[in-house]
Structure 1
Amino acid sequence: MSNELKNLRTYLMTGVSYMIPIVVIGGVLIALSIALSGVEAGTGANVTNPILSKMLNIGVKAFGLMVPVLAGFIAFGIAERPGLAPGLVGGALANEIGAGFLGGIIAGFVAGYTAKWIKTWKVPTQLRAIMPIFVIPLLGSLVVGTVMYIIGAPISSLMESMTNGLKSMGTSNAVILAIIMGAMIAFDMGGPVNKVAFMFGAAMIGEGVYTVMGPVAVAICIPPLAMGVATLLSPKKYSEAEKEAGKGAIAMGLIGITEGAIPFAAADPIRVIPSIVTGSAIGAAIAAMGKVGDHAPHGGPIVLPVVDNKVMFMVAVIVGVAVAAFMVNALKKEVQEEIIENDDPGEIDIEF
């Protein structure tokens, strides 16, 4: 059972890893085009410049590929090349029926396991050559398409109910939601938990609710900025490689790329992950209390021109970064203190 759960996570992360560049392309281009065009009260973004309009369109098209790419490469991870086409088809259907991110995950697993099962069929020698390029993609697409049309309505209804529930929330509930979403954003820094929170915030923009993406936009940039700042505040607690990574993390944080904190979390998850989760949750809560809104499906200071209540946005980011940076440095020891010599001079032990 544990091996199977590990495999499921591996397949999911395969899809997420291929989706990340699409998220970056779409998010940054949309944010830049809107930021350079401005936002009008009551109407939101107003991109009229022809060049910026084309930039926005590129970003929107990239965002439209997120769910198909996610589903396609989940299926690819399970069944290799024969699973890719059914996964892409299932992801496109998830977009069409409004099932969104969760629907794409389901489509990827259905397509992948269907293709993997069909690969085990005993077929005549004459059919073997066309199985991976015709039979498996065709049958896999029919199966995943049928499943998506069956489950599409319930998933779409659930998302609609969540939207309506969010619109009716009071201030206190909005803060609690922001804390949860801020923690999710930081927990796996671009992984599936992060993407659920991000996609929910982005979906709310389409519903005219900008005060969900606002806290998410704050939480997105806190992990990389905090780890970069932490290396500057306590350089003795980080290796040379980590200090170099810290510079890159600050740059990534400024344009809303949470993955900039991954090298630090991979090296020291016990101290880093709780710190950035705490910082992002607090930053998101402050943003919710300040009614910060974000009109672009992206995060970090790059979206500041399209943010409602810019002062509170920056206050939330600064407080969140400070909390995470001071917390992780309080938990960490100096690098020299963590290296303990053992009986063999050719080896060292690292104390965690």
Structure 2
Amino acid sequence: MANIVAITSCPTGIAHTFMAASALEKTAQAQGHTIKVETQGSVGAKNQLTEEDIAAADLVIIAADTHVEMTRFAGKKVYETSTGEAVKNTAAVIERALAEASVQGGDAQQGSLADEVSAIKADRKASMGGPYKHLLTGVSYMLPMVVAGGLMIALSFMFGITAFEEEGTLAWALMEIGGGAAFHLMIAVLAGYISFSIADRAGLAPGLIGGMLATNLEAGFLGGIVAGFLAGYTTKLIIDNIRLPESLAGLMPVLVVPLLSSLVVGLLMIFVIGGPVGWLNAAMADFLQGLTGANVLLLGVIIGGMMAIDMGGPINKAAYTVSVGLLAEGISGPMAAAMAAGMTPPLGIALATFVARQKFNAAEREAGKAAGVLGLCFITEGAIPFAVKDPLRVIPSLMIGSAVAGALALGFGSTLAAPHGGIFVLAIPNAVGNLGMYAVSILAGTVVTAVALIVLKRPIEEVSAGSRATKAGATKAETA
């Protein structure tokens, strides 16, 4: 039996982070292993692994969709996977970890800044990351800025849509905090932490600088993404290819790397990338704002279906990330569609378990109550246990309901100033545009999801009878 330590982390730091931790703990203990899981959630790390925990561990499991600092696991056997895989296939993840984990590179003791640069190289070779993971890391750090900024702007509108124009008033102050500070910084934070995910701390400065240039050049969300990847890979290239004498190696992380990477990124953003990406960003915004009629409904259907198909997985996160990016550009309709569509899967399941009790066993009916609470909080992952158990019936039902919710939200012209919060955001004045019809969109998606589930799912009695008939047939065949 193994002594396991683990870290779980998802982009929002809410649902998948803790669901993966719970699944790993329960399954590992059931298999006879000892385990301690550190959760890197939205409010910081909980149940933190100590140096003693790591030293005593036989195996380290990293179940994360964002960047995790790996230098403290130097010399340990490490296995990396996603939070979704840890939730859905926990036993298989542990088995693969025991069989396939590889020793993490880097020095356990870092005596100088030069040692830290060397460790970065080893960490990157051991990482299974990839562009999508780097992007989600940037988004996860940007989200609090978007939430705080959006709600500050919404609160300023409480005093009137143009009240912020009068300098020195509370409305003006709220707009300065939200729009002047938080929204002005969010692209820089996005780019900085994309670069950080690629090149660790050495990538942070050029990423932040590139992101701020994207904001100043009006290249927006797309420019921030480009700047982040450019900064990260430029930094990594410099670290991998520039060699200084040992006596000067300490200058690499504090002088050579930040200077050269920031210079390259800055010049490329100003003279090469900023203009074309800014044009593309503006063209996309104009296109989305110009959508009318059936095109708006189609966009809502696409966003809704993507939010429901894997309930917090890569497709869901892609739709959510795009919606957050558009919100940063001042286009808040897609965010409204994404949240409505993300709330309806667990809400629809909760309604179905209450209305059609004969189609769900006692455990499922109890889980339906929890799903309802998660749905109200915009935690789509509350639907995962039902989808895993009966995917061919549950997932299409969820997609239909979410498509309806997304289409209606956009069709009614609803908008949303914050990228998270669920029902709690609805209570903030002016956080939601066309609030009444937005509530109708969520309710309609919930009802459609529940009806589809009730129609597609077989009653418990029917399933049990079918199972008994199958067993009886098999017994008769054996006897014959």
Which band: TM-score by shorter chain?
Answer: 0.7 to 0.9
Q: Is the 8 A contact 1:283 1:316 kept in 2?
A: yes
C-alpha deviation, 1:277, in angstroms: 4.7
The reply to whether residue 29 of structure 1 matches residue 155 of structure 2 is no
Which residue number corresponds to residue 199 of structure 1?
325
Who wins on radius of gyration, i.e. which is larger? 2
Q: Is the 8 A contact 2:149 2:182 kept in 1?
A: yes
Aligned residue identity for 2:404: I
Which residue number corresponds to residue 139 of structure 2?
16
Which residue number corresponds to residue 317 of structure 1?
442
C-alpha deviation, 1:28, in angstroms: 2.6
User: Structure 1 pair 308/111, CA: closer, same or farther in 2 (3 Å)?
Assistant: closer
The reply to whether residue 100 of structure 1 matches residue 223 of structure 2 is no
Which residue number corresponds to residue 340 of structure 1?
none
Q: Is the 8 A contact 1:227 1:325 kept in 2?
A: no
Which residue number corresponds to residue 70 of structure 1?
190
The Cα offsets for residues 69-123 of structure 1, whole Å up to 9 and x where unpaired, read as 1111111111111111111111111111122112111111111111111112211
Query: d(CA) in 1 for partners of 2:442 and 2:323?
Result: 18
Aligned residue identity for 2:256: V
Q: How does 1:76-95 map to 2 (within 5 A)?
A: 76-95=196-215
Comparing 223-232 with 72-81, which one deviates more in the overlay? 223-232
Aligned residue identity for 2:437: M
Which residue number corresponds to residue 267 of structure 2?
146
Aligned residue identity for 1:193: A
Task: Flag the structure with more relative contact order, 1 or 2, with Cα contacts below 8 A and sequence separation at least 6.
Answer: 1
Question: What TM-score, normalized by structure 2, do the two folds share?
Answer: 0.56
The reply to whether residue 59 of structure 1 matches residue 59 of structure 2 is no
- Greater share of residues in helix: 1
C-alpha deviation, 1:324, in angstroms: 3.8
Among candidates 243, 267, 285, match of residue 122 of structure 1: 243
Which residue number corresponds to residue 71 of structure 2?
none
May I ask how many residue pairs the two structures share in their alignment? Answer: 317
User: Structure 1 pair 113/303, CA: closer, same or farther in 2 (3 Å)?
Assistant: same
User: Structure 1 pair 186/10, CA: closer, same or farther in 2 (3 Å)?
Assistant: same
Q: Is the 8 A contact 1:227 1:261 kept in 2?
A: yes
C-alpha deviation, 1:153, in angstroms: 0.9
Cα RMSD (Å): 3.9
Query: d(CA) in 1 for partners of 2:129 and 2:143?
Result: 21
C-alpha deviation, 1:266, in angstroms: 8.6
Q: Is the 8 A contact 1:45 1:295 kept in 2?
A: no
C-alpha deviation, 1:165, in angstroms: 3.6
Among candidates 263, 279, 283, match of residue 157 of structure 1: 279
C-alpha deviation, 1:285, in angstroms: 1.9
C-alpha deviation, 1:55, in angstroms: 3.0
Which residue number corresponds to residue 96 of structure 2?
none
C-alpha deviation, 1:312, in angstroms: 2.8
Aligned residue identity for 1:142: L
Query: d(CA) in 2 for partners of 1:298 and 1:9?
Result: 19
User: Structure 1 pair 28/330, CA: closer, same or farther in 2 (3 Å)?
Assistant: farther
User: Structure 1 pair 168/73, CA: closer, same or farther in 2 (3 Å)?
Assistant: closer
User: Structure 1 pair 246/177, CA: closer, same or farther in 2 (3 Å)?
Assistant: closer
User: Structure 1 pair 146/163, CA: closer, same or farther in 2 (3 Å)?
Assistant: same
Aligned residue identity for 1:323: V
C-alpha deviation, 1:168, in angstroms: 4.7
C-alpha deviation, 1:54, in angstroms: 2.6
Comparing 86-95 with 119-128, which one deviates more in the overlay? 119-128
Identity %, equivalent residues: 37
Q: How does 1:1-352 map to 2 (within 5 A)?
A: 6-34=129-157, 36-39=158-161, 50-60=169-179, 61-120=181-240, 121-149=242-270, 150-166=272-288, 168-183=290-305, 191-201=317-327, 203-205=329-331, 213-214=332-333, 216-224=335-343, 226-228=345-347, 230-231=349-350, 233-234=352-353, 236=362, 238=364, 243-244=369-370, 246-250=372-376, 252-253=377-378, 260-262=379-381, 264-265=383-384, 268=387, 276-290=398-412, 292-294=413-415, 296=417, 301-302=426-427, 305=430, 309-327=434-452
C-alpha deviation, 1:18, in angstroms: 1.6
Aligned residue identity for 2:443: I
User: Structure 1 pair 174/137, CA: closer, same or farther in 2 (3 Å)?
Assistant: same
Question: What TM-score, normalized by structure 1, do the two folds share?
Answer: 0.73
